[in-house]
Every structure is written in structure tokens, then in C-alpha cells.
């Protein structure tokens, strides 16, 4: 039985991943850790939950010893939009934090999952069917930290044998916890506004295509990769994974199938546009498919129907 520590457990991914891991491995075997203690009862009461600042290596070691941890899901990061406002702090958290985790993993023999992102790519990356192995010259501090994080994680695997694995997540869409300040957040906000006011102003213009994924697929990707047979893995840090690619118009069109009087407008945010334009339109995830059996279950239509249904219940 694995003993797992989820760092960043109260975030958009962590708040759902922690629960799913508890279902699979048992509540007492999955510890949530975060600087945020203001979390749902479900998260705090369904298993152990600890105050952990990723910069505090001593506290991480204390928790690892207390719960006999052998696997760390490191979800702590400042996302792309927030990162541009605080580049130095973003580096400290994203890379300083990762370095702390990898050093502890080396010493205490833990496997480590650290998500990368579409943000690891840059304006000179081929934007369509972006290959697994290609040009990576990101221009945001977030992307730079993600590209460096991939290399650092591979380094710890190659030099020290630390079992590091990662996926390059696209924008993630979910109804449970709001996203934490990324460029793709519009694809979540649009659902809240569609239900509450039947209108939404997109910060990204028509024609801005980005890869996206519904949260249940993202959670499955993380768990399946960490369970994958290491002998089959040619790559480790990090795998392209995607489920759909759309622009604001296509997403609005799908929402209109359920809410016919929904109106999409635009209030363009140039900072977000610049970031989005430097990222791929759609990634090729064939390596993830062949090396560990990745296959998304939700397309645009299934994701939209479920988001509107679940969010509708939540916002009643
Ligand atoms: P999030 O911002 O929702 O959550 C991050 C969590 O980290 C928060 O709960 C926050 O309280 C915690 N945190 C911040 N600073 C901390 C610190 N010093 N010590 C401990 N905890 C701290 O982020 P997310 O969307 O859940 O993303 C998780 C990971 O997935 C990140 O690496 C992110 O880059 C990556 N990712 C996310 C998306 C997405 O669309 N959500 C897409 C691609 C990659
Ligand atoms: N959703 C994330 C962001 O926009 C992608 O990594 O920052």
C-alpha cells in the first residue's frame, strides 16, 4: 500500500485529487498538505491534513516520517497570470519548492509527480499538433519554471534514480474549486457566468485556440501515470496530454446548446492574450497514449453538459 503526500492539496487539482487518491489507497494513506487551512470539511475530515509550506523542508520531512510517505504529488505552483505579477516569488515557489521536494525525495526514497503545463512551450514551438519533443523557449516566468522543472525532475531520475513523472496539463475545467490565476481560467469562469447571468465577457479573443481538459480526466492522468509500468516509459518529465482544443466562440456555441440565450462578449486582456498566443493551439499526446495508455473520456460536449449540470446544482 502506498502512503501519499499531496502538496498543494487545497488547490483546483489538489482538492479533487486528494479525495480520489483516498478512495483508491485508503483515507489514512493520503495526507493533504497546504498553506491554506481554510478548506472544505470533506478535505480536512476525510483524512490527515497538515499545514505545510513547500519552502519548509524540515516540516515536509517531519510529515514524511510521521506518515511513512513514499509518494509525493507536488501541486504547489503560482500559475501563469499570477506569476507574471510576481516573477521572483513565482520562481521561489515553483522551482525552489520543487528543488526542496526532489532533495527530500532523494533522501527518503519517494516517487514524485509534479505537473508541467502547456505553458512550458513558447512562441517558437510548432503550435499545431505540438510534438512531445520539440522547441521549448517559453516567455513567461511560469513557463520558464515549468520547462526548468521538467529538466530538474529528469535530472533527479537520471542522476539519483528518483522516480519522477509528470504530465503537461492543458487548461483544466472543473466545478469544485476555482482556478488559481491562470491564462485558461476563462474556460471555467464562463460556466459560472452562463448559469448566473447568461452572459460572459471573454478576456481572450475569437480564434485563440488552447488545449483543455475536464478535471476527472486530469486526475486519472496523474494517477495512471504514477501507476504505469516504468519499463514502458521512454519519457518521464513530461508527457503532452490533452482532451480537446477550442476558442471562446466554440465553447460559447456548446454552452448555447443548453442555454440558448447565453451571450458571449469580449473584454480583451492584452497580458493574457500575449501569454495564450505563445502557447500551442493543440498538442499531440500520442507518446502518453502509447507509453502508459492515456485516453481522455470527456470531449467538449460531454464536459460542457456535466459542467452545467454540476455547477447548476452547486449554485442553486
Ligand atoms: P492552484 O493555484 O489551484 O493550487 C495551488 C495550491 O498550492 C493552493 O492550494 C495553494 O494554497 C498552495 N500553495 C501555494 N503556495 C504554497 C506554499 N508556499 N506551500 C504550500 N502550498 C502552497 O493550482 P492548480 O491549478 O491546482 O495546479 C496544480 C499544479 O498543476 C501546478 O503545478 C500547476 O502549474 C499545474 N497545472 C495546472 C493547470 C490548471 O489549469 N489548473 C494546468 C497546467 C498545469
Ligand atoms: N491553466 C494554467 C495557466 O493558465 C496552464 O498551465 O496558467
Q: Is residue 289 part of a domain?
A: no
pLDDT of residue 74: 98
141 and 203 fall within a common domain: no
Q: Is residue 290 part of a domain?
A: no
List the catalytic residues.
Answer: 142
pLDDT of residue 1: 75
Helix or strand holding residue 112 (H, E): strand 111-113
Helix or strand holding residue 201 (H, E): strand 199-202
pLDDT interval class at 264 (50, 70, 90): very high
* Grid-cell match 526548468, residue found: 148
pLDDT of residue 205: 98
Q: Is residue 273 part of a domain?
A: yes
146 and 203 fall within a common domain: no
| Arithmetic mean of pLDDT over the chain | 97
91 and 22 fall within a common domain: yes
182: pLDDT strictly greater than 90: yes
Q: Report CA(303)–ligand 1 centroid distance (Å).
A: 22
Contacts of residue 20, defined as CB under 8 A and 6 or more positions apart, other chains included, come to 219, 223
pLDDT digits (tens, 9 = 90+) for 200-214: 999 999 999 999 999
pLDDT digits (tens, 9 = 90+) for 60-85: 999 999 999 999 999 999 999 999 99
Q: Find the domain containing 277 and state its range.
A: 176-212+243-282+298-314
pLDDT of residue 41: 82
C-alpha cell recorded at residue 116: 508541467
Any atom of ligand 1 within 6 Å of the Cβ of 12: yes
Q: Is residue 26 part of a domain?
A: yes
Instruction: Compute the half-sphere exposure of residue 72: CA atoms within 13 Å on the CB side of its CA.
Output: 33
142 and 248 fall within a common domain: no
Any atom of ligand 1 within 6 Å of the Cβ of 11: yes
249 and 117 fall within a common domain: no
pLDDT of residue 275: 98
C-alpha cell recorded at residue 197: 447571468
pLDDT of residue 254: 98
Q: Which ligand is nearest to the CA of 115?
A: 1
pLDDT of residue 39: 87
132 and 226 fall within a common domain: yes
218 and 70 fall within a common domain: yes
- 27 phi-psi bin (left φ>0, alpha ψ -120 to 50, beta other): alpha
Q: Is 111:160 a contact under the CB 8 Å cutoff?
A: no
Any atom of ligand 1 within 6 Å of the Cβ of 94: no
48: pLDDT strictly greater than 90: yes
120 and 147 fall within a common domain: yes
pLDDT interval class at 42 (50, 70, 90): confident
25 and 41 fall within a common domain: yes
pLDDT of residue 113: 98
Q: Is residue 292 part of a domain?
A: no
Q: Which residues line ligand 2 (CB under 6 A)?
A: 79-80, 117-119, 142, 171, 182-184
208 and 258 fall within a common domain: yes
Any atom of ligand 1 within 6 Å of the Cβ of 16: no
pLDDT of residue 219: 98
Contacts of residue 316, defined as CB under 8 A and 6 or more positions apart, other chains included, come to none
40: pLDDT strictly greater than 90: no
pLDDT digits (tens, 9 = 90+) for 141-181: 999 999 999 999 999 999 999 999 999 999 999 999 999 99
pLDDT of residue 79: 98
Going by alpha carbons, the residue nearest to atom 5 of ligand 2 is: 171
Q: Is residue 293 part of a domain?
A: no
163 and 127 fall within a common domain: yes
Q: Report CA(75)–ligand 2 centroid distance (Å).
A: 13
pLDDT interval class at 259 (50, 70, 90): very high
pLDDT digits (tens, 9 = 90+) for 89-142: 999 999 999 999 999 999 999 999 999 999 999 999 999 999 999 999 999 999
Query: Closest by alpha carbon to 288, among 163, 174, 133?
Result: 133
Q: How many domains does the chain have?
A: 2
Q: Is residue 62 part of a domain?
A: yes
pLDDT interval class at 2 (50, 70, 90): very high
- Inter-CA distances, 19 with 15, 47, 220, 250, Å: 7, 9, 12, 32
- Inter-CA distances, 108 with 75, 105, 149, 204, 209, Å: 19, 5, 20, 44, 42
Any atom of ligand 1 within 6 Å of the Cβ of 117: yes
CATH number at residue 23: 3.40.50.720
Amino acid at each position: 500500500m502506498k502512503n501519499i503526500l499531496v502538496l498543494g492539496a487545497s488547490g483546483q487539482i489538489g482538492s479533487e485529487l486528494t479525495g480520489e487518491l483516498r478512495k483508491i489507497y485508503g483515507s489514512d494513506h493520503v495526507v493533504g498538505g497546504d498553506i491554506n487551512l481554510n478548506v472544505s470539511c470533506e478535505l480536512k475530515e476525510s483524512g490527515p491534513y497538515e499545514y505545510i509550506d513547500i519552502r519548509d523542508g524540515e516540516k515536509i520531512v517531519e510529515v514524511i516520517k510521521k506518515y511513512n510517505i513514499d509518494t509525493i504529488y507536488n501541486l504547489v505552483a503560482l500559475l501563469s497570470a499570477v506569476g507574471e505579477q510576481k516573477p521572483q516569488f513565482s520562481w521561489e515557489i515553483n522551482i525552489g519548492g520543487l528543488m526542496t521536494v526532489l532533495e527530500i525525495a532523494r533522501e527518503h526514497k519517494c516517487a514524485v509527480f509534479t505537473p508541467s503545463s502547456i505553458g512550458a512551450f513558447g512562441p517558437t514551438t510548432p503550435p499545431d499538433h505540438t510534438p512531445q519533443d520539440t522547441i521549448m523557449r517559453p516567455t513567461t516566468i511560469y513557463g520558464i519554471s515549468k520547462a526548468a522543472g521538467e529538466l530538474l525532475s529528469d535530472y533527479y531520475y537520471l542522476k539519483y534514480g528518483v522516480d519522477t513523472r509528470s504530465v503537461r496539463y492543458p487548461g483544466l475545467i472543473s466545478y469544485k474549486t476555482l482556478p488559481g490565476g491562470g491564462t485558461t481560467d476563462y474556460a471555467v469562469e464562463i460556466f459560472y457566468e452562463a448559469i448566473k447571468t447568461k452572459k460572459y465577457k471573454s478576456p481572450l479573443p475569437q480564434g485563440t485556440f488552447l488545449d483543455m481538459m475536464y478535471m476527472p480526466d486530469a486526475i486519472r492522468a496523474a494517477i495512471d501515470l504514477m501507476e504505469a509500468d516504468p519499463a514502458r516509459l521512454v519519457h518521464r518529465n513530461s508527457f503532452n496530454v490533452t482532451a480537446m482544443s477550442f476558442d471562446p466562440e466554440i465553447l460559447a456555441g456548446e454552452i448555447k446548446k443548453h442555454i440558448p440565450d447565453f451571450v458571449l462578449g469580449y473584454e480583451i486582456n492584452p497580458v493574457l492574450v500575449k501569454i495564450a498566443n505563445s502557447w500551442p493551439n493543440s498538442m499531440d499526446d500520442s507518446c502518453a497514449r502509447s507509453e502508459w495508455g492515456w485516453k481522455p473520456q470527456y470531449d467538449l460536449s460531454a464536459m460542457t453538459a456535466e459542467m452545467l449540470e454540476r455547477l447548476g446544482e452547486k449554485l442553486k
